[in-house]
């Protein structure tokens, strides 16, 4: 046996020993991940990835799989491992004049590529560039059986037909573990400008967003937060009840013209404390909103038609008051995405989530089911569950508490 085989055998033995002892196995390669699942399957031991470990079970730490394997500037493609943070990816791409759109703002920089994909490929720049999942061209998945499944590819012709890549990467679906990601890139914009402002009334905020809809150029994003969120997450001291950040990008002349028009819109809609900035290094008051914190932050849970957003938000506050709880709302009003913040989370807040789902449906909206997948045993639709049963017959990956009983 040569030295390379000896090293591989020792690595497999170490992983196996870690599984037996219940430790966190150290994985550095696709083969390591496959070995973990094969050994876990033999021991009927649950494996938890991006989730809290439930006993008995082990955590799979992918942080050492943190390499950018390739950046193809000509074809606008990057190939990366799951442990690469979006901050590192954005910084590396920027040096080449490129960007990965979901990583092109500070909001998700704390996440790794694997965490981002596991969370359903969120993208704050959806209004201008489309959903984040469309920037995921292919993924290699290690299935809970230890098998390797390659989906998609680095060219468009390889991602036509049934979209297995994005199906398997559905938010919190737990069908497999992504170990290699093919990402679509774009060139950096020539010019970029951002604004932050404060408003007294929700109607003023919605009026401003409606005016943005009339612009010929599409904003990169518009992000709003109410008084509760402003006070709890970034200690807003103003008497204003609503805060807003919006961004615009494109060629220099176009952005300059839009910036002038946006300033007029702010004045017409009663905005105050208006700040214009063009650098991520300057004040970005919303950058902590998508990070975990005390209580519960629930993003991308409700999507509400634009003409019913005021009704949904107003009635949500009534529900909060009825249950005597503190609840805050924020989101991307231009796309109807409403996010929740609860400083504390208990039975009352859980009951409110159910009521908000009914409220969303009442106004023609939908619930993503994110809360159910993260915090209850009611997780998957019929098709996803049938795939889960086939790919993970022992339900090793992120096994629910119910199955551990």
Same domain, 199 and 258: yes
Quick one: how far is CA 106 from the chain centroid?
12
- 228: domain CATH number? 3.30.70.3450
Return mean pLDDT, the chain. 87
pLDDT value at position 312? Answer: 97
Q: What are the CA-CA distances from residue 394 to residues 41, 44, 295, 402 (Å)?
A: 7, 7, 33, 13
Q: Does residue 160 belong to any structural domain of this protein?
A: yes
Q: Does residue 154 belong to any structural domain of this protein?
A: yes
As a whole number of angstroms, the distance between CA 167 and CA 145 comes to: 18
Q: Using only C-alpha atoms, what is the Rg of the chain? A: 23
Domain tally, the chain: 4
pLDDT value at position 215? Answer: 86
Q: Does residue 206 belong to any structural domain of this protein?
A: yes
Scanning 169-296, the segments in alpha helix (DSSP H) are 202-213, 227-234, 252-268
Return phi, psi of residue 198, to 5°.
-130, 150
Mean pLDDT of 63-67: 96
Mean pLDDT of 19-29: 70
Q: Where in the sequence is the domain holding 53, given as residue range(s)?
A: 3-61
As a whole number of angstroms, the distance between CA 381 and CA 145 comes to: 21
Q: Does residue 287 belong to any structural domain of this protein?
A: no
Q: Does residue 16 belong to any structural domain of this protein?
A: yes
Query: What is the tens place of the pLDDT at every residue in 238-284?
Result: 566 899 999 999 898 888 899 999 999 999 999 998 888 866 554 45
Q: Which runs of E-coded beta strand occur in 305-380?
A: 328-332, 337-342, 366-367
Q: Does residue 389 belong to any structural domain of this protein?
A: no
- 341: domain CATH number? 3.30.70.2740
Same domain, 92 and 179: yes
Q: Of 29, 44, 61, which one is at a domain's C-terminal end?
A: 61
Q: Which residue has the tokens 């919303």?
A: 286
Asked if 132 and 123 touch (Cβ cutoff 8 Å), the reply is: yes
Same domain, 42 and 74: no
Same domain, 219 and 245: yes
Same domain, 210 and 183: no
Which range, of 1-10, 151-160, 187-196, 356-365, averages the lowest pLDDT? 1-10
Same domain, 353 and 243: no
Q: Is 276 exposed, middle or buried (0-12, 13-18, 19+ CB in 10 A)?
A: middle
Higher pLDDT: 106 or 168? It is 106
Mean pLDDT of 185-192: 94
Same domain, 29 and 87: no
Return phi, psi of residue 179, to 5°.
-120, -5
For residue 244, give the H/E element and its range.
strand 242-250
Percentage of the chain lying above the pLDDT 70 cut: 86
Q: What's the pTM value of the predicted model, to 2 decimals?
A: 0.89
pLDDT value at position 352? Answer: 95
- 87: domain CATH number? 3.30.465.10
Q: Does residue 285 belong to any structural domain of this protein?
A: no
Same domain, 139 and 168: yes
What confidence category does residue 165 fall into, taking pLDDT thresholds of 50, 70 and 90?
confident
Same domain, 259 and 364: no
Query: What is the tens place of the pLDDT at every residue in 102-157?
Result: 999 889 999 999 999 999 999 999 999 999 999 999 999 999 999 999 998 887 65
Nearest partner of 43 among 19, 17, 8, judged by Cα? 19
What confidence category does residue 19 fall into, taking pLDDT thresholds of 50, 70 and 90?
low
What confidence category does residue 10 fall into, taking pLDDT thresholds of 50, 70 and 90?
low
Query: What is the tens place of the pLDDT at every residue in 334-353?
Result: 889 999 999 999 999 999 99
Q: Does residue 377 belong to any structural domain of this protein?
A: no
Query: What is the tens place of the pLDDT at every residue in 281-338?
Result: 544 557 778 888 788 999 999 999 999 999 999 999 999 999 999 999 999 998 899 9
Is the omega angle on the peptide bond into residue 56 within 30 degrees of 0, that is, cis?
yes
DSSP state of 62: -
- Position 374 pLDDT exceeds 60: yes
Nearest partner of 208 among 123, 152, 268, 252, judged by Cα? 268
């Amino acid at each position: 046996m040569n030295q390379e085989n000896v090293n591989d055998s020792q690595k497999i033995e170490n992983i196996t020993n870690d599984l037996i002892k219940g430790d966190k196995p150290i994985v550095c390669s696709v083969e390591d991940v496959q070995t973990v699942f094969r050994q876990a399957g033999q021991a009927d031991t649950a494996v938890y990835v991006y989730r809290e470990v439930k006993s008995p079970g082990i955590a799979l730490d992918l942080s050492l799989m943190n390499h950018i394997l390739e950046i193809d500037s000509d074809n606008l493609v990057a190939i990366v491992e799951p442990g690469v943070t979006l901050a590192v990816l954005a910084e590396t791409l920027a040096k080449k004049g490129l960007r990965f759109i979901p990583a092109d703002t500070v909001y998700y920089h704390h996440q790794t590529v694997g965490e981002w994909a596991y969370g359903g490929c969120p993208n704050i720049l959806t209004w201008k560039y489309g959903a984040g999942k469309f920037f995921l061209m292919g993924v290699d998945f290690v299935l809970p059986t230890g098998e390797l499944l390659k989906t998609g590819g680095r060219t468009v012709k390889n991602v036509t037909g049934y979209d297995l890549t994005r199906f398997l990467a559905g938010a919190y679906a737990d069908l497999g573990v992504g170990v290699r990601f093919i990402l679509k890139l774009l060139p950096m914009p020539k010019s970029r400008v951002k604004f932050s402002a404060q408003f007294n009334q929700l109607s003023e905020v919605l009026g401003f967003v409606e005016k943005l809809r009339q612009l010929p150029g599409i904003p990169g994003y518009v992000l709003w937060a109410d008084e509760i969120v402003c006070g709890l997450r970034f200690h807003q001291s103003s008497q204003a009840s609503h805060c807003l950040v919006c961004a615009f990008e494109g060629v220099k002349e176009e952005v300059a013209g839009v910036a002038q028009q946006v300033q007029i819109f702010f004045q017409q809609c009663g905005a105050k404390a208006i700040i214009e900035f063009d650098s991520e290094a300057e004040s970005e008051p919303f950058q902590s909103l998508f990070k975990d914190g005390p209580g519960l932050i629930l993003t991308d849970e409700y999507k509400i038609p634009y003409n019913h957003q005021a009704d949904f938000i107003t009635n949500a506050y009534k529900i909060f008051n009825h249950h005597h709880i503190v609840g805050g709302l924020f989101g991307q009003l231009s796309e109807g995405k409403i996010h929740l913040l609860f400083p504390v989370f208990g039975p009352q807040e859980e009951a409110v989530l159910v009521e908000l789902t009914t409220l969303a449906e009442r106004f023609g909206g939908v619930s993503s089911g994110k809360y159910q997948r993260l915090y209850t045993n009611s997780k998957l639709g019929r098709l996803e569950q049938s795939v889960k049963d086939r790919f993970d017959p022992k339900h090793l990956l992120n096994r629910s508490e119910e199955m551990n009983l």
